[in-house]
Amino acid sequence: MIYFLSDAHLGSLAIERSWAHQKKLIDLLEEMSKDAVSIYMMGDMFDFWFEYFIHDKSKRQYSPFCKELRKLAKKGIHVHIFTGNHDQWTFGGLGNLTGAEVHYEPCTIQRYGKSIYLAHGDGVLPSDWKTYYPKRIRRKIKRFIFLKKVFNSPFLQFCFRCLPPSWGNYFGYNWAKKSRLKEIANPCPYKGENKEELVLFAKEQENQGNHRDYYIFGHRHIELDLQIASGSRVVLLGDCFQQWTYAKLDNHGRLSLHNYELGN
């Protein structure tokens, strides 16, 4: 089996009993390890992750999770971590701590006769996205694109890495907390097939002849399994802090969504 999960947001200041949250995620991974060949974590596994030049003692809070990933790797399970918009600032440390293969960009893999496009999902848009949305939404997307460029600036990353970890973490975790509380209070539901950015992206890829059987994303914190006109399926994984949903691909190439809360 191949498993896909996303958006645990470990360490979030908006999640009560963070130790219990981490323990539940480890229990889920233990359950997966019974028949897993590979486990793909599709971004935002941490609510904020940044690697400084100075040693960051606060990373110790994630020791149980990191030890679990190393244990999975020792069992021969291939563990993959995609960076998300909350934990993109790893400069090699995350891979060393976990033994996982870290992916910074979307990729396409071939498994069990199926072509699968994998990405966290932030900033994934069709090339003509401006034609789909009113001005208010276009402004919001433009702000997000601008912030993504700022966060990816090598110069600004270097400057932030020079900070004492306590300073940088105070800013990062509190910024992330505001985002999490806002989402919990006012979640963004599924926008519909003709407005959901990740669905529009998949449709454009198919129209351009870049066929994949599955498009799997995190980021949106909603659960979706939608078959589009080309026969491809667009899968949004939900999350692992409220919904506890994940996807499983069996050795016949059949993909299904599951809920850990319900035990299926």
Which domain CATH number covers 50? 3.60.21.10
Domain count, the chain: 1
Residue 23: give the domain boundaries: 2-259
When the pLDDT of each residue in the chain is averaged and rounded to a whole number, the result is 93
- Please report whether residue 264 resides in a domain: no
How far is 107 from 103, CA to CA, in rounded Å?
8
Question: Range with the lowest mean pLDDT among 117-131, 154-168, 239-253?
Answer: 117-131
How far is 75 from 108, CA to CA, in rounded Å?
25
- Please report whether residue 117 resides in a domain: yes
- Please report whether residue 213 resides in a domain: yes
Q: What is the pLDDT of residues 35-53, one digit of tens each?
A: 999 999 999 999 999 999 9
- Please report whether residue 11 resides in a domain: yes
Phi, psi of 59 (to 5 degrees): -65, -15
